[in-house]
Structure 1
């Protein structure tokens, strides 16, 4: 029986492989709503930076004293708030930090999207391999049923043997139908990442049996600080520092300069006046906001450390799964499946010669099929673990670490 991990997926009539991983990634990059939303968020931060550079607008006021024309006094005044204590610079720094955080969010969203593309694409490859495997299983079960029927007709085995073979063939047919159904689900899951339809996708083209050697723990640890999640945490820390600087700058009170002209009808002349007003911080010195901002800085620092510890644990678990799955794949391909295949072939020949019962054939067949299913499961686990590592570090980081 052919190795299902290396076999070419069975294609429906008139359908050819129509999607590669690179093509799926390009489609997701261009049309994924979540990624587009993150990009718009980063673009919106440009407006925040622009607004932070604006200075306070001047104010103009008109006062009229007395309604009698002969004694009326008209006053026109222009006031301008003067920002002191580096408030404008602190506000601009805060806007820049928020823009950097929005850009980091785009990087993290893109890494998460790539993880979904990798997993969904490999799920589709897996589903296609299961269809191929179930097709071959059904063919073997049908052959076994034919052999059992012939031996029953020849009177060499009781009818019970044929009944067992018929049950095995029916189960194989059910498994084939389920595998085909799961292929449609996998197609839709992949196409949904860019708003497409699974029915229009066709089948995936890729080598599901290819596994990649996991990077060393040292390589991964060296790149941990460059992970998108760490970048987000650092940007959050920078934001908290910028907020603290804004609140600290508010300690300095901003004066308001006034310049005006006063026209008194009874005097018959204009009077120019200049004024300045300064708030007195008697009741509100902004101490509470400053204290809150400082504690937010402490919180962000601890969250940065906590994020690193969480990523270390996630990387360790994913790498261990990657190593374990690769080892099991190698063992299954080199020893388990060849041995199970030989045992099955021997059982079939022995049954044809009347040396074994059909229960022996079913037992050998079950062992072979189980090992084939386990191989597919471990290949998927290896691909998923690799995708998890790429999600944590971002694709460029993993490619540089492994040389792939």
Structure 2
């Protein structure tokens, strides 16, 4: 902090020692003051009403895949709408359990006061044939169907979030690769410019280097745009307009293991699509039973009182009315319900066959991409990197021209981009398996990512 203390003239020893002591004390005071101020600035916490620290935002923790799925299930608009649909089916169950309302009837005979007769009557419908139980069961099946649809949507949201999450990680890796490419292109351009200045290579080589650098900068801009779009898609699934998280946990290289097809086949029977189709069959069967119960006519029991002004007497009334199923026996509605029940069974069979095929295709796609990734990791990338390093060293020593270096660089970064693309496809294939099977392997994705 102090370069030295200079004395002019030739003071005596006592006066020199006094000045040295004063300077030493001043230096100690300044050092202590600056150290205390620095430590106070590092340890001071913001107080209420302080404007100096009000603008300092707390750092946002990186977003994990598990947290992203949790936020999506909480804030996704489609999930909110499906939840409201499920809650609405509770009204169907409540309405199905209700009994028919009684009816109060009043009649007047003869408008003349002396001979007037008035009647008050209470009509009570009585449902027969198990209509109320069949109606309640059909409503409960509709509620189960809404719950199955909600579960299917949850599986779809989880799969979409997982795919979008790893798309962001892959885009970030691609952006980092593009930045490295720009840095290497810049260094190569500088090296060529120096050799041109030294007269070792033609100026044409420098022009080629600058053109290549400009092309790589365009790729950098495209990679940055792709990363922003991937973040936008991810946070749209979370129900967020703006991106509250600036970093994600995990790496794109962490891909899930490829499951065996024999392990996936038993899970198809409990997948959301199959469960939903099976519940539709049960619901159609309940609606058929409801239409069958409507073929039994209901009975209306009537109780009342009649008052005659002429006789001045009250008469008790009691009656029973039964509709005669002569013309309308509900045959048309019953036939429709039976055919729709058969259709639901056919759709269940179609869904089962289709899901077996889709799961097998998704698993095969994942296995193929995993093999491609392994080949790229073990053979292609190391070889391309070694060739690029050798070409760079040879160019620096004057053994290779710049075109050979540029070709080796392009080969390496193309292989790296192919590797990142394969990683993204692998995560999407794994997400498809999760979506088809209802998230049965989502825990593997999360465990692998974390």
| TM-score, normalised via structure 1 length | 0.93
Where do 1:226-305 residues align within 5 Å?
A: 226-305=270-349
Q: Which structure is larger by alpha-carbon Rg, 1 or 2?
A: 2
Kept in 2, the 8 Å contact 1:187–1:203? The answer is: no
What are the superposed Cα offsets for residues 328-357 of structure 1, whole Å, 9 maximum, x if unpaired? 111111110000011111111222222222
SS at match of 2:440: helix
Q: Alpha carbons of 1:167 and 1:401: their partners in 2 closer, same or farther (altered >3 Å)?
A: closer
Match of 1:197 in 2: 241
SS at match of 1:79: strand
SS at match of 2:252: coil
Which shows bigger deviation, 385-394 or 346-355?
A: 346-355
Equivalent residue in structure 2 for 1:126, among 167, 170, 173: 170
CA distance in 1, matches of 2:176, 2:60: 15
Pairing 1:135–2:204 present: no
CA distance in 1, matches of 2:444, 2:270: 12
Pairing 1:58–2:102 present: yes
Distance apart, 1:132 and its partner CA? 0.7
Equivalent residue in structure 2 for 1:342, among 366, 386, 400: 386
Distance apart, 1:194 and its partner CA? 2.8
Unaligned ranges ≥5, structure 1: 1-13
SS at match of 1:372: helix
CA distance in 2, matches of 1:208, 1:399: 17
Match of 1:321 in 2: 365
How many equivalent pairs are there?
Answer: 391
Match of 1:144 in 2: 188
Where do 1:393-404 residues align within 5 Å?
A: 393-396=437-440, 399=443
CA distance in 2, matches of 1:393, 1:15: 37
SS at match of 1:298: helix
What are the superposed Cα offsets for residues 193-248 of structure 1, whole Å, 9 maximum, x if unpaired? 23213443212121211122111111111110100111111111111000000000
Unaligned ranges ≥5, structure 2: 1-57
Distance apart, 1:307 and its partner CA? 0.6
CA distance in 1, matches of 2:77, 2:265: 32
Match of 2:32 in 1: none
Match of 2:126 in 1: 82
Match of 1:354 in 2: 398
| TM-score, normalised via structure 2 length | 0.84
Match of 1:113 in 2: 157
What are the superposed Cα offsets for residues 112-145 of structure 1, whole Å, 9 maximum, x if unpaired? 1101110111111111111111111111111111
Kept in 2, the 8 Å contact 1:80–1:258? The answer is: yes
Kept in 2, the 8 Å contact 1:263–1:269? The answer is: yes
